Structure 1
Amino acid sequence: MPTPCDVVVLLSGTGSNLQALIDSTQGGDNPARIRAVISNRADAYGLQRARDAGIEARVLDHKGFEGREAFDTALMALIDEFSPKLVVLAGFMRILSADFVRHYQGRLLNIHPSLLPKYKGLHTHQRALDAGDREHGCSVHFVTEELDGGPLVVQAVVAVELADTAQSLAQRVHGQEHQIYPLAMRWFAEGRLSLGEQGAILDGQPLPASGHLIRP
């Protein structure tokens, strides 16, 4: 059994991606070990998912801090109590400061509901429909100081159907998120995935700009 890779997950909401990450570690051969889940919202259902799985759940309410930098400093101190090798953003609805991103350089992953670099930010499913796109999807990337702009690790493509609404498209994209996020976490935990000067590296080889692409 390889050395466990301790992971801290940050979230603000229901935690469906967290559940997929938890489920992926249940088999026994995955070196990723989720040590803690931290939320900026005490009512986030993801905290209950963590407790149900026997994972430590913590709350750090951003409203109790004077500005983003003060919150991020406290958040870094809380995360570092668990000495994680990897920090995973799973619907953490906060824009992170440059100091935070630099502190976890090369060990901070995020998932975004579009085929980056398309549709950074919010309302990605409706924007894909409005543009008449035939393909949509989701992306796992290393986090850098550019919002939704870090090197791509893996993307999953979803075909856009004529009858799709933003809700139906989102549902299929979420299904793919639950496949590729555990995959990326496992690659990192196994020592196969890292961040190099030119971008993401998998099994010693630079990944293309689009990351590892998974098509239906």
Structure 2
Amino acid sequence: MGCRVVVLISGSGSNLQALIDSCQNGESPASICAVISNRADAYGLTRAKNAGIPTAVLDHKQYAGREAFDDALMQVIDSHQPDLVVLAGFMRILTAGFVRHYQGRLLNIHPSLLPRHKGLHTHQRALDEGDPEHGCSVHFVSEELDGGPVVVQAVLRVAADDTAQSLAERVHHLEHQIYPLAVRWFAEGRLRLTTDGAMLDERRLANCGEQIRPA
């Protein structure tokens, strides 16, 4: 059945929709076998159901702590036997045990050109620091927050009249391009994580990964 993917979400799921479209229109050999959310009201669950994808909800508030929640989450994920786990707006800081369990098959997308601007409020911080360029990064997840080897980045020029909101909208559009691309690379067997870092077509990627500069 190709590469089985589980997607974790917490919100509207626009990146999930981009992944669904990529899988269903034949662009990618990946197959999304489940979508899991920690919020029952996440609109991404509706997107998944509309696409005929099984869903599950695990409310983190119902668990004694982070470790208990992550243990339960791992059980649900593993019941689907995924080859890849994709974080698509999953607003939880994952425990080290969770990250280690999925090492080499756990991807995240972050709205900055990592390693710049880890954490929150990336667009305003890019403006405040006068960055000439901004964008988004897909990376393998490590135990360091927003760390892990970068796979691919989409880069845009910051315009003189950009605001945090306009930057967010422009970057979001780029996320929908590079996340399905990275998942496709993994599903095709071209992308993998080694002790030397991220490898694409047996070539070690630079610290910034592949860089794409849309016209």
Cα deviation, 1:25-57, whole Å, max 9, x if unaligned, reads 122352100000000000000000000000011
Q: Does 1:122 align with 2:120?
A: yes
Cα deviation, 1:96-152, whole Å, max 9, x if unaligned, reads 000000000000000000000000000000000111111000000000000001000
Output aligned runs, 1:36-75, within 5 Å: 36-75=34-73
Residue in 1 aligned with 2:106?
Answer: 108
Count of aligned residue pairs for this structure pair: 214
Output aligned runs, 1:1-216, within 5 Å: 4-28=2-26, 30-216=28-214
Unaligned runs of 5+ in 1: none
Unaligned runs of 5+ in 2: none
CA distance in 2, matches of 1:181, 1:153: 10
Cα deviation, 1:140-187, whole Å, max 9, x if unaligned, reads 000000000100000000111111110100000001000000000000
Letter in 2 for 1:170: A
CA distance in 2, matches of 1:173, 1:28: 25
Letter in 2 for 1:27: N
CA distance in 1, matches of 2:174, 2:40: 27
CA distance in 1, matches of 2:136, 2:26: 27
CA-atom RMSD in angstroms: 0.7
TM-score (norm 1): 0.98
Point out 4+ residue stretches in structure 1 off by more than 3 angstroms.
none
Corresponding residue SS for 1:25: helix
CA distance in 2, matches of 1:55, 1:27: 15
Cα deviation, 1:73-92, whole Å, max 9, x if unaligned, reads 00000000100000000000
